[in-house]
Structure 1
Amino acid sequence: MLQKIKEITFVLSGKLASSTQSTIVFYHDVHLPQQRYTDMSTDMSLFKEHMAILKAEGYAIVPKIEQEQYQIQVCFDDGFRGIYDNKEYFIEQQIYPTVFLAISLIGQEGYLTEEEIIELQTLGFIFESHAYAHENLTTFNDAELKYELEASKSYLESLLNKPVNEICFPIGYFSDRVLKFCKEAGYTVLYSSLPGRYFNKRTDGLVYRNLVQFSSPKEFKAIVKGAMDSFLWWYRKKQYVKTEVYK
C-alpha cells in the first residue's frame, strides 16, 4: 500500500513538473538474478526498462550533460562489479556511465578490481572519486578530510592516467567545510545526492542527482520529469550537515 501511495505521489508530482530539462539519475549496481553483490543493486530487467523509457521519451543518454534539454547522465556509486558482469549491455546500448570509486573498496569482494576498472575505462566508462574510505566526510577532522580527498584523487589519477576533478560525497552527507576542502583539493565538479535538474546548480557548484535504483517504471518516468524536485528541502535537511561532529 505504501509503495502504491508513493508511486501515485510521484506520478502526480511528475505531471505537475512536466520538465524535459537534462538531469542525472544514479544507481549503485545492476545484477542478473543469479549474481547480486549488494542489496542496493537494480535488477537488469528493471534497469533496461528505465533506459527504454528514456529513449521512448526522446532523451539522449550521454556520458556528460552539455545541453539544457533532453539529456540524461547515468551514474553508479561505490564501484560494485555488477556493471562489469553486464558490460556488454552498456556497450551495445552505447551507455557510458560515470562510476564513483571509493579507493578502500577497490578489489574487495563484490567490487571492481583495478584491472576491471581499466578495462571498463577503455570501453568508455568514466571513473571519478568517491573519496578514500567511503565514510561520512563531515565526521573527519581537517587533516583526515584533506587526506580523504587528496589521496583518492592522487590514487585515481595514477591508476586511470587522467585528471580526476569530480567527486561524489559518500553516503550523501556534506557541509560547507567539505565543499571548501573539495575545492582546495582540486575538485571542480561536486556531485550530491540531492534531487533536481542538472543546470539548476547551486552557486557553490553542487550538482543535483536523482536516486532511481528501486523506482518502478511509472516512478522513474515521473522522476525524470521532475517529481523529486519538490522534495529537495527534505533531502537537504537530511544530507546537509550544519554542525559537524568529528570522530
Structure 2
Amino acid sequence: MAASPTDRNIQDSWHDNAGRWTLAVRSGAIASRRAGTDSAIVEAVARLRPAAVLEHVLDLGCGEGWLARRLRDAAGCRVTGADGSAELIRLAREADPDGRYLHADYAAIVADPGCLGGPFDAVAANFSLLDEDLSGLLRALAVCAPAGGLVIQTVHPWTACGGGPYADGWREESFAGFGGSGGPGGEAWSPMPWYFRTLETWIGDLRDGGWRVADLREPADLRTGRPLSLVLTCMAIPAERSGRVTASPREAPASAP
C-alpha cells in the first residue's frame, strides 16, 4: 500500500513541526492535554487489566515518545513506539535511549505488520489516526494484537466539528492554539490535513477493519463540562466472524441529525 498524497502531506507536516511539537508537549503548552487527554489515554490502557496481561504495548504514532515513557513507567510493561516521522523518532530516542522506537509509516505497517516486532498485548493510538482510509491499517493492527485491545483517543466529533456540518470530511489543523501563529519555537507551524469522522463512522470503520467497540468514554473538561476527546477501547473480532466485517459501503450523514 503506497502512501496517498494526503498521507504524504500529513507526514510532511509532522516532519516540519517535529521540533515545535516536541517543545509544546514537553513544556505543557497544550491546554487540552493538561485538562485531561494525557491522563485519559493512560487510564484507558490501564483499564485493559486484568482482561489482558500488558507485557508488550504498541504506541502507534508515538511522536516524541511521551506516552511510551509514561506507559512503561506507570504499567511496568515493554513499549514499542512507532512513528512515520524520522525526526520525531530521533527526538524520542534522544530523550529515552533505553526505549524501543521504530521509524515506520502506516503504509509499511500495512504491507508488513511483522515489521513492528509483535505480537502486542495492546495498541494505543493517541490522536494518531488521521487519514480517510483506515481499513488496511486497522486490519494490520488486528494481526499485530490478535488477542489484545486497541485503545484510540481522538477528537470528540461533537465538539471538533465546530461550526461546520456534522459530516465526514477533510479538515485542516493550523495549530493556532498551540502557542500562537509562531508556535512555541518562534517559527510558523505547518498546517496539517486530517480526516473528520462522525461517531457512526468511527464505529463502522472499526467494525469493517476487524474491531468491535467494547468501551466508549468521553473525558470532559472540568471547567466547561464539554468533552475533551473520544476514547474507544476495541477488541479484535475473531477470525471466524471476520466475514461479517466486509459490509457494503456506508454513506456518512450529510448533516447533523
TM over 0.5: no
TM interval, short-chain normalised: 0.3 to 0.5
User: Normalization by structure 1: what TM-score?
Assistant: 0.35
Task: Give the structure with the larger helix fraction.
Answer: 1
User: Normalization by structure 2: what TM-score?
Assistant: 0.34
